[in-house]
Chains A and B, each alone.
Chain A
């Protein structure tokens, strides 16, 4: 666990088992079952692994964006769409300004940053006003911002021909292809492709490295003085206050960090996916991220980098494996139902778990 210090090996193991919990065990078992079943029903194992790794690399940063706010006790960041909106602004403006290739990715991050700071700042200020009711309000702040941006995408004076509707030459398209811009900008860096050797394994090393960099920075931050203070605020705000910490400031910082990571997260997702999805697409992007970190073993006020990695692998593993395996096995695709039940069931489990610091 990244947030606690050198635990004895024994307690660490016990703690890991304790915190693992039954639902997680079931989900991990289910994924294992799918992995075992895959070759049996005639699927290529390596392809499946490639799929999981690819999906992991797309989503991991957005899951990482949950960490700061959970640490500071702001709960699960259902307001992730706010960060995503910042990222989308960065993406579209970068293209509008005529950047291409890898540069367009960097510029997108650069442009998204001030938006993330601004929106995250306002969001953080708001969340400090309504302590205790964060999650519900975060959800609706996210929704409101996305629906507001729906209007903006139509109204803002974008001109770039690849982005606007062809016939009216105004208003952005719902889906914008990133070909020629930053499609696979990270994924193509140092890609390991074993197809030559007859194994269908492709690893997007660049994306994974990028995530590793961000995860390391997050881990490092949590080990600094400020990071320690943030964790303490999440663990017990009254204690932190008595120890002279400005609780509101810590929460504020955490919200900005989460929002910025959300913005970067969507850009990483897009470079892997190859398309920018606008309008209503960001509505439901928070849910998979929230579900993933909870599956990884986080609770409403505790989360670590380990939770992010394990959770994203488990969640994306199930999401990518179930349709293919089930289709090959039973000619019946129940993956949608499984996805809904697993992710929302996980969130419900986290919400109904008795926390010591219940309101």
Chain B
């Protein structure tokens, strides 16, 4: 009954306020930036192929009620480590990417298990905890890549190593893998390069998620996400289900990172993953997702809107203020801002729900009481 009443324009706008805001921002900034449409389109399509898979990895933990998985960074690290090894072994092209993907699976499962079991000890605080797991593991990643690779883990090529003889350089070149996925089956329409194979892989991942929702595990995750206690009473192994959701997310994220980095062609060894979680989450939220609800639609809408904003902001900022730094800071501000707003709305909603429930009961009694006294 409630849902029917809500189906008017006002609530539709308020429910989608974030995407609408971004549409407006983009609509204002695109003409201001003066960027040619072709360039813009090309950039957006490139970024769509590059980022979507990573963002898809966020959907499963949201389904399991664990909020925005800042721990996806762990998957990104697994993907990076796999790529470093593959680059060292000189496996090139698509075979190299496939090998990196296979290598990243055990790594990311391991990291996912770690992350998931910590999060099971911090129920109700998953987001802030996963946020710090990402930071913590960044230290471990540095320990491995900066100190153990080349000393304990054999690295053959000195081009990868720091001059001191161990540790990986600040940039890892993936020259021989660069866009090998994107260029396979690529189609160019009006100068806009469409990375067909990448998009097919993304489509498969979407299909998987749609299908996954219909599996027993998917159903269990939704149940756990909505009410852990009821799910436990019904015999669902809550902790295990949550653990699996994080492991899946981490594995997905490592695949996503490999796709992302093959497009870039090289990566800064120690920084590539630091903010990736933040930007993926911001993009998802821009697409209209919330902490407890996200769909594939949100992912695509989010990637397009967020990245359009990202591309045009510096140019537009430069045109307005004569300083392109303004635009760069602006887009960083928007990324943080949108996450802040989404978190505030989520928490406020949780509290409001409790309150309205009380208010409603009070009113009912009042009405009844008035009826009786009258």
Contacts and interface: CB of A to CB of B under 8 A. Distances in A.
Check whether chain A touches chain B (CB < 8 angstroms).
yes
Interface of A: 126, 129-133, 135-137, 139-141, 143-144, 147-148, 150-151, 154-155, 171, 287, 332, 334, 336-341, 344-345, 347-348, 351-352, 354, 358-359
B326 A151 contact: yes
B132 interface: yes
Nearest to B134: A344
Given A129-B351, A133-B346, A139-B131, A154 B325 contact: yes
Given A133-B347, A147-B335, A344-B139, 7 more contacts: A130-B348, A136-B131, A148-B333, A337-B139, A339-B139, A340-B135, A344-B132
A351 B127 contact: no
Nearest to B121: A352
A315 to B, nearest CB: 15
A140 B124 contact: no
Interface stretch (B90-98, B142-150, B362-370): B142-150
A340 B139 contact: yes
A359 to B, nearest CB: 4
Contact of B323 (A129, A140, A171, A336): A171
A206 B138 CA distance: 38
Contacts of A287: 135
Given A130-B344, A154-B329, A351 B128 contact: yes
Interface string B186-225: 0000000000000000000000000000000000000000
Nearest to A300: B125
A137 B350 CA distance: 14
B147 A337 contact: yes
A139 B147 CA distance: 31
A137 B351 contact: no
Q: Which of B143, B321, B347, B351 has the most CB of A within 10 A?
A: B347
A140 B340 contact: yes
23 contacts: A126-B344, A130-B347, A135-B128, A136-B127, A137-B343, A137-B344, A140-B343, A144-B340, A147-B335, A150-B329, A151-B329, A154-B321, A332-B147, A339-B139, A341-B136, A344-B132, A344-B138, A347-B132, A348-B132, A351-B122, A351-B128, A354-B121, A359-B124
A137 B340 contact: yes
Contacts of A144: 333, 336-337, 340
A337 B147 CA distance: 10
Interface of B: 118, 121-125, 127-129, 131-133, 135-136, 138-140, 142-143, 146-147, 321, 323, 325-326, 329-330, 332-333, 335-337, 339-340, 343-344, 346-348, 350-351
Which 6 pairs across A and B sit closest by C-beta, in order of nearness? A340-B139, A130-B347, A133-B347, A147-B333, A344-B136, A150-B329
Contacts of B323: 154, 171
Q: Chain B interface secondary structure, helix, strand, loop or mixed?
A: helix
Identify the interface centre among A140, A155, A338, A354: most chain B CB within 10 Å of its CB: A140
B321 A155 contact: yes
Contacts of B333: 144, 147-148, 150-151
A348 B351 contact: no
Nearest to A148: B333
B138 A348 contact: no
- Mostly, the A contact residues are helix
A326 to B, nearest CB: 11
Contacts of A133: 343, 346-347, 350
B344 A336 contact: no
B330 to A, nearest CB: 6
Given A140-B340, A348-B118, A352-B118, A154 B326 contact: yes
A242 B140 CA distance: 47
Given A337-B139, A340-B139, A344-B135, A147 B329 contact: yes
Given A135-B128, A147-B333, A337-B142, A352 B340 contact: no
A307 B102 CA distance: 47
A345 B128 CA distance: 13
A133 B343 CA distance: 8
Given A135-B128, A140-B336, A341 B140 contact: yes
Given A140-B336, A334-B147, A352-B121, A129 B344 contact: yes
Contacts of B348: 129-130
Contacts of A347: 132, 135
A126 B135 CA distance: 26
A132 B146 CA distance: 38
A139 B68 CA distance: 14
Interface centre among A171, A341, A352 (most CB of B within 10 A): A352
B143 A143 contact: no
A141 to B, nearest CB: 6
Contacts of B121: 352, 354
